[in-house]
Amino acid sequence: MAHPVNDHALDVIFRDARSQNSFVDKDVPEILIRAVYDLTKMGPTSANCSPARFVFVHTPAGKERLLPLMSAGNREKTAQAPWTVIIAHDLAFQEKIPKLFPHAPGARDWFNSNRDETAVRNGTLQGAYLMIAARAIGLDCGPMSGFDMAGVNREFFENDEGELKNWRANWICNLGYGDKTKLFDRSPRLEFDEACRIL
């Protein structure tokens, strides 16, 4: 039987974790980013369809392409962060299902009528797994939805012929070590009885 994680782990992942608006000048090695993905990929999705796709932007050339597409309030923090990940989903995710769900040969066709909905829902879920994984290994996260989505899709997901690939941006998250001196006070959260019902 699995044992609960200790209070320190819960503090790191949830209670003390904050959305970061500023990052200190400290490098994050690529091996940690790969470790984040290796944890993220273990989270459950519908029929293990795993539609999320992640573009990790780290180089000056990559940031130069991304920064003009960020909203004004998100540009500086994105420039500061050692890594910025575009959380996207693949509308052709079904092509991978024979590999990912081999014991059910017909699973590829299960999502023919709700492909886009499945991709968005499960890709968003995997983006949340990514934040939990990043926090669990000691990184800070700065999730954002303020960016030019159509622009990001054009800049990062079009091929040389100008045809949009099957990847679509969902949201963006900065990764690194947050500057705790720049944090705002934590905003309130809803109490159980405000947000939940037991039936």
Summarised one tens digit per residue, pLDDT across range 30-67 is: 999 999 999 999 999 999 999 999 999 999 999 999 99
Digit-coded pLDDT (tens) for 135-153: 999 999 999 999 999 999 9
CA 112 to chain centre: 25
Is the distance from CB of 94 to CB of 166 less than 8 angstroms? no
- Residue appearing with tokens 């200190």: 24
pLDDT band at 121 (very low <50, low <70, confident <90, very high): very high
Domain ranges of the chain: 22-178
Q: What does the pLDDT average to over 146-171?
A: 88
Closest CA to 173 of 25, 29, 54: 54
CA 146 to chain centre: 14
The percentage of residues in the chain with a pLDDT greater than 70, rounded to a whole number, is 97
The CATH-assigned architecture of domain 22-178 is 3-Layer(aba) Sandwich (3.40)
**pLDDT at residue 160, as a whole number:** 65
Digit-coded pLDDT (tens) for 58-115: 999 999 999 999 999 999 999 999 999 999 999 999 999 999 999 998 999 999 999 9
